[in-house]
Amino acid sequence: MSRPRPRTIAIGALAVLLAASPFIPHGGDDNGAMRPSGDQRYGALVPADTAPLGKVTPELQAEIDRVLAQGEAAGRVPVTQSPDTLAARLIRCADFDGQRYCLHTGWTESTQSEVQARMATAARAVAARPSGRTTTGDLDELATLRQLARMSPTARAAEEREELTQAARSVAKVWLLRHDIEGVDIPQSVLDEHPEALADTSSARTTSSSSSTPSPSATATATPTKSRPKRFKDYPQRDTVLNPKQVAEQQRTYWCGPTTMQMITWGWKHKDLGQAHWADKLHTTSQGTGISDMVRVINDNTGWDRKDHAGAYIVLDISDYGFKKWEKLLMRHVTDYRAPVVLHPILLKKYYPYLDDDASGHFQAGRGYDRRGDKSNLIGYFEPWNQQRFDPSEPYIARVQWRSAYKSYRANEAHFQHNIGV
């Protein structure tokens, strides 16, 4: 048999390329399309919409141990030290498969020194703040640092190990969000190491989704792909999760975290376990609740973290998010994941006109959106704070709120941590 000539091979290769060209992703952001294109192939591996908690690989465990060793070397940290010193010794970051996680802050694209500086600056601002300002239960930056400093090195290391372990197990979720919302390519190595990040090509996703799954018979002969990325017009004009009758106002001034958790878990369990129950689970003190604990408790006590909902909840730094990305993230969570968001704003009157006074950092249960065309878009959320409960002279604040989505975005951006639970 004669061997094919080089010219014949070249023509054949060109024909194959031309035939495949309709499947090659094209650039451009068509009406807010999420990039990169969902049609992007990763060999025979297809990224899922989201991912549950995965396993800690040896490489991830080595990074956890490295960060903990730094803490052990720092030893006991005097609580009387300056915010800058406290932040430098207590806020450390890990590199988990190419994504950065900083203790007590979350997943971020900022450097460790930037996160430490941001924490110290905010702590100094709290220290200089006049007494008497309304606080609703968010654990502020100065309280966070001092709380950590008061712990013994052994107790602090145990808490940090738990936080870092859960973060390491959620790295696949981080990559998928970066891919779908921020347009970051996922390395092949990440998909190889984290099967929880792969789409299930044997059955369709049970919720509304951007995935397109071939039939089982097709998977044997064709490389599975995802459909094109969703655009704003692909989403319904308005959508919600959580039952508006399953709400409560916080019973203590520092229980916005437990009350937000009460409403989020009520929506999953269809049973109200009360705020005191969740205050205990969240390790809430009179100084408030930390957002990393909010995420931990959702993952440990509900099914919102399943792969057919939001996947593993994470604390995500949104300081580099514009308003459009913020909206995409909310719509994806509500419509595709059918799951609530842990909003983490600062309560200021310029963002929330129902307030009688400016207040502290805060938690709310994000649960809907309404895109209104020429009018400003709205965000739906459950508000645990009712100022009238603690001062009868102040106006009542309702639990179910529909307010400006842009102002909510600005309120979350204005919080010193710039993060939310998703």
Residue type, position 347, single letter? L
To the nearest 10°, the Cα dihedral for 363, 148, 94, 101?
A: 10
Write out pLDDT tens, residues 285-339: 999 999 999 999 999 999 999 999 999 999 999 998 999 999 999 999 999 999 9
Confidence of residue 229 (pLDDT cuts 50, 70, 90): low
Residues 343, 381 contacting (CB under 8 angstroms): yes
**Does the structure show a pLDDT above 70 at 403?**
yes
Compute the distance between CA of residue 380 and CA of residue 200 in angstroms, rounded to an integer: 31
Q: What are phi and psi of 372, to 5 degrees?
A: -110, 25
Q: Which residues contact 402 (CB under 8 A, 6 or more apart)?
A: 368, 370, 378, 379, 380
Write out pLDDT tens, residues 46-64: 889 999 999 999 999 999 9
Residue type, position 204, single letter? A
Give, to the nearest 10 degrees, the angle between helix 112-128 and helix 83-90: 140
Confidence at residue 148, expressed as pLDDT on a 0 to 100 scale: 92
**Does the structure show a pLDDT above 80 at 11?**
no
**Does the structure show a pLDDT above 90 at 208?**
no
To the nearest 10°, the Cα dihedral for 116, 118, 122, 128?
A: 80
Compute the distance between CA of residue 201 and CA of residue 225 in angstroms, rounded to an integer: 9
Q: Where are the domains of the chain?
A: 238-421
Confidence at residue 231, expressed as pLDDT on a 0 to 100 scale: 78
Q: Helix (H) and strand (E) counts for the chain?
A: 14, 10
Q: Give the pair of three-digit tokens for residue 301.
A: 């006590």
Q: How far is CA 206 from CA 200, 210, 307, in A?
A: 11, 12, 10
Fold of 238-421: Cathepsin B; Chain A (3.90.70)
Confidence of residue 201 (pLDDT cuts 50, 70, 90): low
What is 342-353 written as a DSSP string? EE--B--TTT-T
**Does the structure show a pLDDT above 70 at 6?**
no
Confidence at residue 56, expressed as pLDDT on a 0 to 100 scale: 97
* Residue whose entry in the numeric block shows the structure tokens 């971020």: 108
**Does the structure show a pLDDT above 90 at 29?**
no
